[in-house]
Amino acid sequence: MRLLSEPAPDGLEAAVAEMPADGAWRVGLAIGYCSSGVGHTARATVDTWARTLRPRTLLLASPRSFCAGVERAIDVVERLLEQCATGVYVRKQIVHNTHVVDDLARRGAVFVDELDQVPDGATVVFSAHGVSPAVRVEAARRGLDVVDATCPLVTKVHSEARRFAARGNTIVLIGHAGHEEIEGTLGEAPEVTVVAESPADIAALDVSDPSRVTYLTQTTLAVDETRETITALKKRFPQARGPGANDICYATTNRQQALESIAARADLVLVLGSTNSSNSQRLVELAQRAGTQAHLIEDASRIQPFWLEKATTIALTAGASAPPVLVDEAISTLAGLGPLSVTEHTTTTEDIYFAPPAAARSRS
């Protein structure tokens, strides 16, 4: 790539960025700007932009983007928007993605933090992350028309919590304190459940009967880190039992394995997802542990030019709540910065589908 800057009449300069393509020079950008004042800013912008131009390879992780639980939750709200003339309220973000929430809000969904913001008798959707029994009780007391979009894989963890609590066990819930999914699961048996995030938390546990310890995990954790925490738990409480390996869901596991297969080969990893998306955050951390610079971005507009200056191989993925269209837009953006060779790296294929709850299927 070369950047040309030529004096032009009337105190203007013309900057032209060119890059080689098919044996010839191709103009990437040409602008005119003042050679003083804000013109320097313009020049700096062009310089920065020009440094990002280069031929690149894009490694596309597969699976990526929407999982079955997220598709189901969005489908629930969309169905209700078509069927409920009196409005649709959604407690919390239906899934942790700003684009999804903004789109549904534009189409009429009203997102609230708590049930006291929902009018008596109104239709309210519980998000994919699940709710505690206390929330269900409050909704029933208020006479709300509840449609539950909790992912079936989160519901499974709730069932396990009730089962273990009924046996009189202490439940060690491995996950991030304060995350909505953990709040919901914790609410199933709060008097016998403790939340632990790491091996250090396991070391600090105070358990009344070490022979009656069971564990559950959040569905969207890092597979390798969770393994370490479970190992620490079993070392401290050899009789500890859990639900097989852990409760990390297929979508989280698959997206981590797909990115793991390419992250170390890339100069830069871009993960599409919102900052409150746990599984997206775990993808960024996974790439960083592989030694690669990695960033979580809401969409292509958040790609910073200076990330790209030395990146000739970029790995791209998207968290389970990030819409596929965001991936397409990111590819288009990168393709606008030089010839882009895109290769998809598929570690497994997904064909899981969760049917919508009966309450969302027909309201006629």
Binding residue for ligand SF4 (CB under 6 A) from 173, 189, 258, 320? 320
**Residue 70 or 189 with smaller CB distance to ligand SF4:** 70
Least distance (Å) from ligand SF4 to the CB of residue 31? 44
Size of the site for ligand SF4 (CB under 6 A): 15
Residue type, 62: S
Read off the tokens for 68: 């079955």
Separation between Cα atoms, residue 303 and residue 41, nearest integer Å: 20
Separation between Cα atoms, residue 88 and residue 96, nearest integer Å: 18
Read off the tokens for 338: 């030089």
Least distance (Å) from ligand SF4 to the CB of residue 38? 46
Question: Which residues contact residue 190 at a Cβ distance below 8 angstroms, ignoring those fewer than 6 apart?
Answer: none
**Residue 271 or 311 with smaller CB distance to ligand SF4:** 271
* CA-based radius of gyration for the chain: 25
Least distance (Å) from ligand SF4 to the CB of residue 306? 32
Owner of token pair 């269900």:
136
What is the DSSP code string of 56-118? EEEEEEES-S--HHHHHHHHHHHHHHHH-TT-EEEES-SSS-HHHHHHHHHTT-EEESSGGGS
Judged by CB under 6 A, the chain residues 50 through 89 that form the site for ligand SF4 are: 67-70
**Residue 165 or 249 with smaller CB distance to ligand SF4:** 249
Least distance (Å) from ligand SF4 to the CB of residue 299? 20
Q: Is 251 in the site for ligand SF4 (CB under 6 A)?
A: yes
Binding residue for ligand SF4 (CB under 6 A) from 80, 249, 296, 308? 249
Burial class (CB within 10 angstroms; exposed 0-12, middle 13-18, buried 19+) of 298: middle
Binding residue for ligand SF4 (CB under 6 A) from 169, 220, 226, 246? 220
**Residue 152 or 339 with smaller CB distance to ligand SF4:** 152
Q: Is 216 in the site for ligand SF4 (CB under 6 A)?
A: no
| Catalytically active residues, by annotation | 181
| Contact yes or no for 1/48 (Cβ under 8 A) | no
**Residue 13 or 183 with smaller CB distance to ligand SF4:** 183
Q: Pseudo-torsion of CA 283, 285, 289, 291, nearest 10°?
A: 80
- DSSP state, 219? T
Q: Is 174 in the site for ligand SF4 (CB under 6 A)?
A: no
Separation between Cα atoms, residue 150 and residue 356, nearest integer Å: 10
Instruction: Specify the length of the chain in residues.
Output: 364
Residue nearest to ligand SF4 (CB): 69
Least distance (Å) from ligand SF4 to the CB of residue 117? 24
Judged by CB under 6 A, the chain residues 122 through 161 that form the site for ligand SF4 are: 128, 151, 153-154
Judged by CB under 6 A, the chain residues 175 through 214 that form the site for ligand SF4 are: none
Separation between Cα atoms, residue 1 and residue 53, nearest integer Å: 7
Least distance (Å) from ligand SF4 to the CB of residue 93? 12
List of residues contacting ligand SF4 (CB under 6 A): 67-70, 128, 151, 153-154, 219-220, 249, 251-252, 279, 320
